Amino acid sequence: MFYRESGDFSETYPADSQTFPIKFDRYRYYAVLVVAFLIIPFIINDYWANAILVPFLIYAIAAIGLNILVGYCGQVSLGTGGFMAVGAYACYKLMTSFPDVSIIFHILISGGITAAVVALFGLPSLRIKGFYLAVATLAAQFFLVWLFNRVAWFYNYSASGQINAPDRTVFGHLVTGPNTDAWAKYMICLVFLTFAGIVARNLTRGSLGRKWSAIRDMDIAAEIIGVNPLSAKLSAFAISGFFIGISGALFFSVYLGAVEVGEAFGIQKSFLVLFMIIIGGLGSIFGSFAGAAFMVLLPVLLKNVLVGGLGWDTALAAHLEFIIVGALIIVFLIAEPHGLAQLWRVAKEKLRLWPFPH
Amino acid sequence: MFPDQFLFAVEVMLNGLMAGVLYALVALGFVLIFKASGIFNYAQGVMALFGALTLVGIMDGQVPFAHLINAIFGTNVHHFGWHVPAFLSILLVMVVMVGLAWCVQHFIFRHLVGQEPIILFMATIGLAYFMEGFGDLMWNSEIKKLDIGIPQGGSMWIEEATAFLGGSNFYGFFIDKLEIVASVVAIILVIMLVAFAQYTKQGRAMRAVADDHQAALSVGISLSFIWVLVWSVAGFVALVAGIMWGAKSGVQFSLSLIALKALPVLMLGGFTSIPGAIVGGLIVGVGEKLFEFLIGAPFLGGATENWFAYMLALLFLVFRPQGLFGEKIIERV
């Protein structure tokens, strides 16, 4: 009824292999972009930006990064928090060392630095697999957090051990620091997310993405058909690290402004991002968005209902949140291992046939 | 007479051995479940926390879910007002752990049979989150004291007996009595487990399942029963670990983080080997304490215990991917 491809003919190969081959899908995608870029910035306020939209955008970038590694290449990583910290501290050092360079470049370079660090920690993946590797990435998590805590050079010898984002502007508008407008925070994160989404989508459906999937499905078989495991695995680690680094840099400079490493980038963060991609859908870019939205919205919703609505105290709501998140993870793994993205796919298939399902 | 520096290093090593025993205790639970069902149980640490929380709750006569009940009904209940003796409470907690094992098997892993190991691993992370919230909801999240009559404090006897070894600055080795008790308990536990696995019918069935699921099924062993059994035994081990750690540092959230300490132990020892878990635990315990004492605190700014074990395990794995005692990993296409 609403959603069908009849009358929608593709006449060239590029037209047939584009991301949204169905016209309705394509227009929906443009509509989302228009709303996100042209409408939300004008109606956004501080609460919506800080509680929901900015964290969602930043976590979505991290989730895309982790999804490339876990969902596409099959290398489970529990070091996301530590890797985000690398992005954040790289960004801080760059911002304070080169104050004249635009923050856009700082964030991109932080992504590059994180990519190098993650690739380094990805080296053992050539020897060890499965949860041996997952545990090995925990080494990165603990080591990096310790490093940023103990080595004073990273936080410029500040007395509190915290890092604080100085004021920086893009096109004359403040984007970091405490006096930033809500829309400016939102816009810079949105631009990076759009960039990350488009790059990730095109990488994962190209030859590199196919190599990753081959490694994920069975690495020995992939090696036999000519995929080089060294380059495939390390490129997945590096590219995943690039996105995670960008999200860490944004998380620190735009969202929080001041960071204490153990608190902001502890192991809980690693699990949070992992949960996002499990719930959202492993091996799906849309799933990264859906999972990030879900995990950002769930605590806000619970807090509003339980604390605001029923008047329970916050500790109780926090316990319930743990229970619900844990139960949801299990339910999703049992009932729908491909997460929200798969539910969305099923819904689309149903809509295509509706109202004549046979 | 030895130089003081050397004696201090020995003391650090002894304490490391004791800590290592506690790590090994947690790692044991992992190995049991992994051998029998191929599940890498991240929730082992939370099971220890849950066991300890339940033990304290029963001993003090706390009302379960008091917080929730009060919030819903506006009442103000918190304690029943009785105190249950330690031995009886431990028995009750064991019943709870068996119930938990049944629930885990029945509601979660029965539905995940045949999934990839990494999916099972992520399911146990979900389970860990669930149990963490559930334990806190049931018994509230305050730090509790666990006192079941284990002696605590430094052992004066060892201190006095060893004081002659060093000069006037050396007062003998300081070793916590609790850790000595923990070591003895751990040794007894391992002997019990080995005896159980070797000489009882259920133990043999357990080993058969660990060897080959299908072969075990074909000779009439009930897989689901064995899995519940294994989870119960692991729950019991977790309870012992929880009691020891809880008596040492109070029953609180950080107890669940000992699981994170047990992971490198497993990587060192190999996921499938009980002796490996013990040796790995001792290596990690001694290694991290000595490293902190000799290199970490003087040169690196301290607190290296957080990551040393992981780095050690990581380096180790690059050379021997199956761990010290693990079975050789053979992969086929």
pLDDT for A177 equals 78
Answer yes or no: is pLDDT of B48 > 60.
yes
pLDDT for A67 equals 93
Calpha distance B49→B39 (Å, rounded): 20
Q: State how far residue B32 is from chain A, nearest Cα, in angstroms.
A: 17
**Sequence-distant (≥ 6) Cβ neighbours of residue A114 within 8 angstroms:** A83, A86, A87, A90, A241, A242, A244, A245, A246, A248
pLDDT for A68 equals 94
pLDDT for B329 equals 65
Residue with tokens 């201190």: B159
DSSP lists the bridge partners of residue B62 as B79
Calpha distance B243→B264 (Å, rounded): 22
Is pTM beyond 0.95? Reply is no
Assign residue B166 a region: left if phi > 0, alpha if psi is -120 to 50, beta otherwise? beta
In chain A, how many H helices and how many E strands? 17, 4
**Model confidence at B73, in pLDDT bands (50, 70, 90)?**
confident
Residues in A closer than 8 angstroms to B109, CB to CB, are none
Residues in B closer than 8 angstroms to A131, CB to CB, are 40, 117-118, 121
Selected residue of A133, A147, A316, A331 to mutate for chain B interface (largest B Cβ count, 10 A)? A316
A117 domain residue, yes or no: yes
**pLDDT tens-place string over residues B122-131:** 888 889 989 9
CA angle B254-B258-B264, nearest 5°?
145
**pLDDT tens-place string over residues A194-226:** 999 999 999 999 899 999 999 988 888 999 999
CATH number at residue A124: 1.10.3470
Calpha distance B13→A134 (Å, rounded): 29
Q: What is the mean pLDDT of residues B27-40?
A: 82
Least CB-CB distance to A333: which of B123, B133, B306? Answer: B123
- Between residues B325 and A331, the one the model is more confident about: A331
Neighbours of A181 (CB within 10 A): 15
Residues in A closer than 8 angstroms to B40, CB to CB, are 131
**pLDDT tens-place string over residues B156-208:** 666 666 666 666 666 666 777 777 888 888 888 888 888 888 888 888 888 88
pLDDT for A156 equals 82
- Between residues A20 and B300, the one the model is more confident about: A20
A17 domain residue, yes or no: no
Least CB-CB distance to A135: which of B117, B119, B267? Answer: B267
Average pLDDT value over all residues in chain B: 80
Half-sphere exposure of B284 (CA within 13 A, CB side): 38
Tell me which residue range forms the domain holding A339.
22-353
A201 domain residue, yes or no: yes
A9 domain residue, yes or no: no
Q: Do A130 and B260 touch (CB under 8 A)?
A: no
Ranges in chain A, pLDDT < 70: 1-4
Sign of CA pseudo-dihedral A273, A279, A282, A284 = negative
Cis check for the bond before A355: say yes or no (omega within 30 of 0). Answer: yes
| 3-state SS assignment for residue B330 | coil
Closest-CA residue of A relative to B34 is A131
A16 domain residue, yes or no: no
- Between residues A109 and B4, the one the model is more confident about: A109
Half-sphere exposure of A275 (CA within 13 A, CB side): 28
Calpha distance A132→B310 (Å, rounded): 11
Within an 8 Å CB–CB cutoff, is residue A316 touching chain B?
yes
Assign residue A331 a region: left if phi > 0, alpha if psi is -120 to 50, beta otherwise? alpha
A2 domain residue, yes or no: no
Q: Structural domain tally of chain A? A: 1
pLDDT for A262 equals 80
A215 domain residue, yes or no: yes
Selected residue of B104, B132, B307 to mutate for chain A interface (largest A Cβ count, 10 A)? B307
Q: What is the mean pLDDT of residues B316-327?
A: 74
ipTM of the complex in this document? 0.81
A120 domain residue, yes or no: yes
Least CB-CB distance to B306: which of A146, A218, A319? Answer: A146
Kind and range of the H or E run holding A259: strand A258-259
**Sequence-distant (≥ 6) Cβ neighbours of residue B68 within 8 angstroms:** A316, B137
